[in-house]
Structure 1
Amino acid sequence: MISLSRILFTGLFALALIACSEQASVSDSSASMTQAANSASASVVSRWYSDEQQALGSEVFTQNCAVCHGAQAQGTVEDWRARLDDGSFPPPPLNGSAHAWHHPQEILLQVVNYGGESLGGKMPAFIDVLDDAEKLAAIAYFQSFWTDDIYQQWMQMGGTN
């Protein structure tokens, strides 16, 4: 038969484990939130583009894309999934909060080159407006707003392949 002291010891041990795991959980949660906040400002994951490409991309994006996609690629409408009155889709955010990160670089370049009309949007074609370096720089710029987690998922799904 199990003694009362053994049951008491087991119960206290279990409570101590629970208390320790709750403290670790709160601590881990705080660390995760801090890490997520910091990742937007300082990427620790190696990216395909250089600082120079990102800087050029900022200029290209500001001059050609920001009016529709927002200055920091955040979008300009509340719900980018809802069709506009004319039946077209509004420009989506490109900052990692929509679907741009679901597409490899090749597809992103196709959309920049040929526009979004065939996809139900109004984006004009930039094939004869921007050179290849400017197009890649614009992509680098909006990808600079992606968290490391989003960027890593993009790379795992084919990213630059």
Structure 2
Amino acid sequence: MQTDTLTATGRLVRASAAVVVFALLAAGTLWGTDDHFPFGPFSMYAGVNGPNDPAPDTRVEGVDATGRTLVLNEHNAGVRRAEVEGLEAAYVDDPGRLELIADSYARMNPDAPPIVRVTVIVRLHEIRNSSLTGQWHDETRAVWQRP
């Protein structure tokens, strides 16, 4: 016989799980970082651009030894855009850190020509009255070149 009513034990288990999840969310919000997903503070959603502020789109480009330019991402170099955005100031202060992305690409693509240059580029899409204008420009934020 099947019943639609939870037993006392079932209610206790569900209530306990809800309390634990709520406590983790509260702790992550107060003391956590985005790395504590899904219990972190979600600070990536905390800001908002104005209706006429450009919308940034960050990418990492690599140039290999043959001169070919390619976008470096989590599939070919193990680096996510959010990680690059979070470390942008560090890359600007010390572009040598970008060599780690080239090294990661080499590990993930052992038969490919080596990356000799890594560039962090931010494409700024122009916005007017909260709508895309179709205009954009790129800003180079950091460059590392193999000596």
> With CA pairs under 8 Å and 6+ residues apart, which has the higher RCO, 1 or 2?
1
Verify same fold: TM over 0.5.
no
TM-score by length of 1: 0.29
Between Structure 1 and Structure 2, which shows a larger proportion of helix residues? 1
TM-score by length of 2: 0.31
Between Structure 1 and Structure 2, which shows a larger proportion of strand residues? 2
